[in-house]
Structure 1
Amino acid sequence: MRLSRSLAPVTVALALVLSLPYDALPHARVSDGKPPAPSRFGAACRTAVRGSRVVAYCHNPYVDIDRVRLHIECARWWDIDTDSAPVDAGPALTVRLTGRCWKEVRTVWVSHQKAR
């Protein structure tokens, strides 16, 4: 009788584990040796500086929405650097971002953020 009492919890635990779906069970992942595919995200942006004015065109060829911002660093110490408001570049859309300095432009770049 003692043998059956000690096997009862083990039998119940085994029955519960076997009744779980395959995705719920812990199992090892087998890798095929290839690196994971790169994520397809990010708009391609072109910037142009004409004097103190900056314009950027960003085209998003992918499905995920890319939230882009234009950042401008001005050359003069007293000139205020600017960051544009974020603009959502949806799938297959081109957006235009603009900004300016009072005098010369030192650096321009566009930042990307995945919109959720």
Structure 2
Amino acid sequence: MSPPIRRAAVLLFATLALLGTTAIAPAPPTPREAECHTRLHGSHAVTHCFNGNATPDRVQLHVECVHWWDPGMDTAPVTVGPARHVVLAQRCWLGIRRAWVTHAPG
């Protein structure tokens, strides 16, 4: 093979390989969870969750207290329907170490 034909063949195979991988690779799935924003103020935790998806989502607020004798608390799970908003609140006696929200399919 002459050098110009070899370059053209390599370029053709590289282009076909690149087009083949981009056409076959599926897009990563987008998360289908409600969007939650949690605020801590002293010994109180409040989270606002909005579900902008077409499927329901069950959310639950968990709170870990600062002191060992102050038990951590969880709210009851709440289903957030499509285009709906919920507010969850929980507290400790003297202070919150951390607070987080878990999601489950509704």
Over alpha carbons, which structure has the higher Rg?
1
User: Gaps (5+ residues) in structure 2?
Assistant: 1-20
**1:85 positional shift:** 0.2
Number of the residue aligned with 1:65: 56
The Cα offsets for residues 77-97 of structure 1, whole Å up to 9 and x where unpaired, read as: 100101110001000011000
Distance 1:40-1:76 versus aligned 2 partners, 3 A rule: closer
Q: C-alpha distance in 2, partners of 1:113/1:40?
A: 12
**1:37 positional shift:** 4.2
Identity %: 42
The Cα offsets for residues 51-89 of structure 1, whole Å up to 9 and x where unpaired, read as: 101100000000100000000000101001011100010
State the aligned residue count: 85
Q: C-alpha distance in 1, partners of 2:54/2:39?
A: 26
Point out 4+ residue stretches in structure 1 off by more than 2 angstroms: none
Structure 1 residue corresponding to 2:89, chosen from 84, 92, 98: 98
User: Pairwise mapping of residues 5-84 of structure 1 onto structure 2 (< 5 A)?
Assistant: 32-84=23-75
The Cα offsets for residues 8-59 of structure 1, whole Å up to 9 and x where unpaired, read as: xxxxxxxxxxxxxxxxxxxxxxx94222441451000000111101100000
TM-score scaled by length of structure 1: 0.69
TM-score scaled by length of structure 2: 0.75
